[in-house]
Amino acid sequence: MVNSLAIGLGTKDKKLGWLEFFFVEPCSGIDDKFLNQLKKIITIPNQTLSLNDDKVIANLLAILDKTNDQHKKLIDFIAQATKKASYLSAKNRQLVAILLTDDVALSDVGVAYLKLHLLSYRHFKPNELNLTNIFSVLPNVAWSNKGPINPANVADELWKARFTDDALFIRSIDKFPRLTDYVIPANVRIANSARIRLGAYLGSGTTVMHEGFINFNAGTQGPNMVEGRISAGVWVDENSDLGGGASTMGRLSGGGDILISVGKNCLIGANAGLGIPLGDNCIIESGLYVTAGSKLKVLSKDGVIVSESVKASQLSGKDNLLIRRNSLNGQIECLTTLAPASLNAELHKNN
């Protein structure tokens, strides 16, 4: 069930409308009793509600359970937002609530941000939420050390900052902010936070090194070592390693309909690439990009030829594969491996 309640702050631009939303960890999987109570207060679910009515806020606080740790966070957040109302107004920020009951295509900026939060808080795994229309719904934003800015206003803001001691830095101009400005997943290491978007799912024990990248709606079960690229829609199971510069094929731009995934105990070598789903205990040689149409010679574990030529797509989801390029003739070969890859436990025990 997608049923979720989120309380947060939204930043609004006079011309562009909603720029972004920050939510306290949402309450998901709420029961029918609480859901029915919420529907009496938030009468229009699945869209952003500005909490500017004292009666609505009071009614919402009345049904939140102070003995529930998650509810208590929401109560404290509402209290802080109410106390800082004048400051928030001056910064064009508003206290908002969203009651999510239907997982349908996106049409609301707040709901889009809520779904990204739900993924990064590990309430849902990649590909479990409907993110259709997300690129058309999310506005392009200039992300700065002063918060989100309408890109059309950046030039003016930059020269104004030159006349003060209050420097302005533009980190990026994009539809997605960095994960760590919104959610800090427990028990992970992130060497370069700019390379992980909000909406990424980082499982406990995940280490992302400086060249690692994780897109929204993609992620790791944990523990994992990520030194390569995890594209949107891609899932990497536990104890698997993406070597430096390795790539996984996504579906956003010209990709096929096949969801790429990496099973348990796999190694994608440095600068290698993956365009098929892998099962468990698989290894791809460094520098080798395997697409669905790649032709492979299949060998038994004893080196006996099983097939002279098969498409890599025919091996999708298979376990115990070692895929390599023959250095003498350049042909891609697939062998059975009985020695699965393993992570260096020392690198993950302090996450």
Residues 6 or more apart from 125 whose CB is under 8 A from it? 119, 201, 219, 235
Catalytic member of 227, 238, 333, 346: 227
Query: How many residues in total does the chain contain?
Result: 351
The verdict on whether 227 is a catalytic residue reads yes
Beta bridge partners of 206: 224
Residue 88 to residues 9, 83, 144, 149, Cα–Cα distance (Å): 9, 10, 18, 15
Beta bridge partners of 172: 143
Active site residues: 227
